[in-house]
Chain A
Amino acid sequence: MNQLIDFVIISIALFSIGIYGLVVKRNAIRMIFSIEIIANAANLNLVAFSRHVQNVEGQVFALFSIAIAAAEVAVALGIIIIAYRLYKQIDVHEFRSLKG
């Protein structure tokens, strides 16, 4: 039988992979991937603890979180497309218009 700690360890591993991607990658789409991986790690944690305490709240929060993540991806990809049109690339180091 699986223990609660197993799911938490998987969640921590996914979170660390996401942090690595956010720090290292310069490609805007890869940064979106990292954010998605981190959000999924958080959802897994929510559902695992919800199962442990036999409470439905964690699952409801996970559902809300998934829906918000979908909205966030739609807006982020719109921003990436418009940035690509302006700069002809998606390297975040080249997006310098907001730099003072």
Chain B
Amino acid sequence: MVDAYFVGVAVLTIGTSIVALESKELIYGAIALAISMLGIAGFFLLLDAQFVAMFQITVYVGAVAVLVIFTVMLVRTQDLFSAKDDKGRKVGGIILALVTMGGIGAIFLVSGISDPMFGNLESTPTDVKEIGKSMLTYYSPALIVLGFTLAGAVIGALALARREGLLKENESTN
């Protein structure tokens, strides 16, 4: 049996993620996506993963959502929002989503994971200390590579969005 907190967070997360894809205005979609990420952080808290929840709020709600909202404001035009989805494509997408949900759900339900004896989460949660320990010992090379990847991605994004190259290109074509 699930508790009321779980049901509330589930409705919030799934509802806002649908709104993020279906809202008329792109900016409302971006805000709904941020709330959906917040709901995922709520699930992490339910799973006793406070550190991951904090990281999720910092990175997704704090950084990614703001980045997306700024991009939406930068590319805002009138004809952007009037583009309608193809009707047949939409029906096909809904059917594909339902088939995916039914297929994966059926696999999980017959796998025995739904057995209350197997799938209970009543054991003691792991300590945050363990995360730090494994990150600095066994996963330390991965952590360093991750740092380089982030640096490379940020420099790459800056190089992509630079205006200078575009201006030169326009001059040469003119």
Is B113 touching A8 in the complex (CB atoms < 8 A)?
yes
Chain B, interface residues (CB within 8 Å), range:
35 or more
Using an 8 Å CB-CB cutoff, how does the interface string of B60-73 with A read, 1 for contact, 0 for none? 10011001100110
Is B68 touching A29 in the complex (CB atoms < 8 A)?
yes
Cα distance, A16 to B126, chains bound together (Å): 30
Assuming the A-B contacts A20-B96, A44-B43, A90-B80, are A80 and B126 also in contact, with contact meaning beta carbons closer than 8 angstroms in the complex? no
Assuming the A-B contacts A51-B121, A91-B83, are A56 and B96 also in contact, with contact meaning beta carbons closer than 8 angstroms in the complex? no
Cα distance, A18 to B13, chains bound together (Å): 13
Q: How many A-B residue pairs have CB under 8 A?
A: 238
Is A29 touching B71 in the complex (CB atoms < 8 A)?
yes
CB neighbours of B56 from chain A (8 A): 43, 66
Is A69 touching B64 in the complex (CB atoms < 8 A)?
yes
Assuming the A-B contacts A47-B47, A77-B67, are A67 and B59 also in contact, with contact meaning beta carbons closer than 8 angstroms in the complex? yes
**Chain A contact residues: over half helix, strand or loop, or mixed?**
helix
Assuming the A-B contacts A20-B96, A29-B75, A89-B80, are A3 and B114 also in contact, with contact meaning beta carbons closer than 8 angstroms in the complex? yes
Chain A, interface residues (CB within 8 Å), range:
35 or more
Interface residues of B in 68-111 (CB under 8 A from A): 68, 71-72, 74-75, 77, 79-80, 83, 85-86, 89-90, 92-94, 96-98, 100-101, 104-105, 108-109
Task: Specify the chain B residue showing the minimal Cβ separation from A83.
Answer: B75
Whether, in the assembled complex, B33 has its beta carbon less than 8 Å from a beta carbon of chain A, the answer is: yes
Interface residues of A in 51-91 (CB under 8 A from B): 51-52, 54-57, 59-60, 62-64, 66-75, 77-82, 84-85, 88-91
Using an 8 Å CB-CB cutoff, how does the interface string of B102-137 with A read, 1 for contact, 0 for none? 001100110001101011111111100011001100
Is B14 touching A13 in the complex (CB atoms < 8 A)?
yes
From A5, A20, A73, give the contact of B119 (CB < 8 A): A5
Interface residues of B in 23-63 (CB under 8 A from A): 26, 29-30, 33, 36-37, 40, 43-44, 46-49, 51-52, 55-56, 59-60, 63
Residues of A in contact with B (beta carbons under 8 Å apart): 1-10, 12-21, 23-27, 29-30, 32-34, 36-37, 40, 43-44, 47-48, 50-52, 54-57, 59-60, 62-64, 66-75, 77-82, 84-85, 88-91
